Amino acid sequence: MRQIFLDTETTGLRVEDGNRLLEVAAVEMIDRKLSKPERHFHRFVNPERDSEEGALNVHGLTTEFLADKPKFAAIVDEFLDFVKGSELIIHNAPFDVGYLNMELGRLGRGKIEDYVDSITDTLKMAKDLWPGKRNSLDALCDRYEVDRSGRTLHGALIDCELLAEVYMAMTRGQDSLLIDFAPTAEENASNLERRSSGKPLIVTQASPEELALHQKYLDALDKTVKGACVWRELEPLATNEANPQ
């Protein structure tokens, strides 16, 4: 499953006031594993206008800095190729989607919904999980203990990376325990051959470091479910099976 975490920065809050997009970033995740940084998409855009004072204080991208950057028309094909067919994951999606659709509409390129499979709004997810609480990206980073110490001004790329960590914490469920440990086709074939030949299966014991990481993961699950996760109940059974009397 290919998911794209997307964020934009703009010259102002209201697209209806003629504000424009000036930065777009997209971070790729495949099967709940983030791709290497070289697979990310990040472009600054010349918005052809000044930023409103409030927006400038947030992102710090001056008109002078953006003057020699490409216009959106110059990056649109590369951008659409990158996000095509993915699930877009955006915090406060209506805001970013509104700006993307405005820019695409100016070029006669339709809407972003025409190019992606779906759009997920993590702000809506957070409000469902934490009704009545603050659910900004900063608040969610604090709630899920995601380190944001390197973030001074808002930037599209760093916000995407933070959102990816927050999303992983928000969607961490019992089924995700097996995601990173699914055997490959070659491993399955090898195990089947050993079963049919009567050879013992190869068992690799977890290292102390791996066990410590496992406990850290379970602690995070406990916090997410506000109690003890199901795996805690299964641990004694797994231990007894591994060490029969």
- Number of domains the chain contains: 2
Domain co-membership, 166 together with 221: no
Residue-level pLDDT at 226: 62
What is the rounded CA–CA span in Å between residue 186 and residue 181? Answer: 14
Whether residues 163 and 188 share a domain: the answer is no
CATH code of 115's domain: 3.30.420.10
Q: Decide which of 170, 200, 219 is a domain's last residue.
A: 170
Q: Are residues 185 and 166 in the same domain?
A: no
Token match 């190729």: residue? 81
Per-residue confidence (pLDDT) for residue 215, from 0 to 100 = 78
Q: Which of 142, 170, 198 is the last residue of a domain?
A: 170
Say if residue 157 is in the same domain as residue 206. no
Q: What is the predicted pLDDT for the residue at 27? A: 97
User: Do 159 and 231 sit in the same domain of this protein?
Assistant: no
Domain around 193: 174-242
| Residues 69 and 130 placed together within one structural domain of the fold | yes
Give yes or no: residues 67 and 17 share one domain: yes
How is residue 141 annotated by DSSP?
A: H
Pick the last residue of a domain from 144, 170, 196.
Answer: 170
Residues 92, 35 within the same domain: yes
pLDDT value for 204: 75
Same domain membership, residue 105 and residue 81: yes
The half-sphere exposure of 124 on its side-chain side, counting CA atoms within 13 A, is 9
Q: What is the pLDDT of residue 244?
A: 56
Residue-level pLDDT at 194: 59
- DSSP character at residue 150: T
Instruction: Examine the domain organization and report whether 135 and 155 are in the same domain.
Output: yes
CB contact set of 106 (below 8 Å; sequence gap of 6+): 72
Per-residue pLDDT of the chain (245 residues), as tens digits, is: 899 999 999 999 999 999 999 999 999 999 999 999 999 999 999 999 999 999 999 999 999 999 999 999 999 999 999 999 999 999 999 999 999 999 999 999 999 999 999 999 999 999 999 999 999 999 999 999 999 887 767 789 999 999 999 999 999 863 444 344 445 556 566 666 655 666 666 677 788 877 877 777 777 667 655 667 666 766 665 555 555 55
Q: Which pLDDT value is given to residue 93?
A: 98
Return the number of other C-beta atoms located less than 10 Å from residue 52's C-beta.
Answer: 16
pLDDT of res. 25:
97
If asked whether residues 132 and 100 sit together in one domain, one would say: yes
Catalytic sites, residue numbers: 154
What pLDDT shows up at residue 201? Answer: 64
Strand bridging mode 33-34 / 2-10: unpaired
Please tell me whether residues 180 and 165 are part of one structural domain: no
Give CA 30 to chain center in angstroms.
Answer: 10
Q: Encode 162-201 in three state secondary structure.
A: HHHHHHHHHCCCHHHHHHHHCCCHHHHHHHHHHHHHCCCC
- CA gap 201, 193 in Å, rounded: 10
Give me the DSSP letters along 194-236.
HHHHTPPPP--PPPHHHHHHHHHHHHHHHHHHTS--HHHHHHH
Helices (H) and strands (E) in the chain, counts: 10, 6
Dihedral, CA atoms, 214, 217, 221, 226, nearest 10 degrees?
100
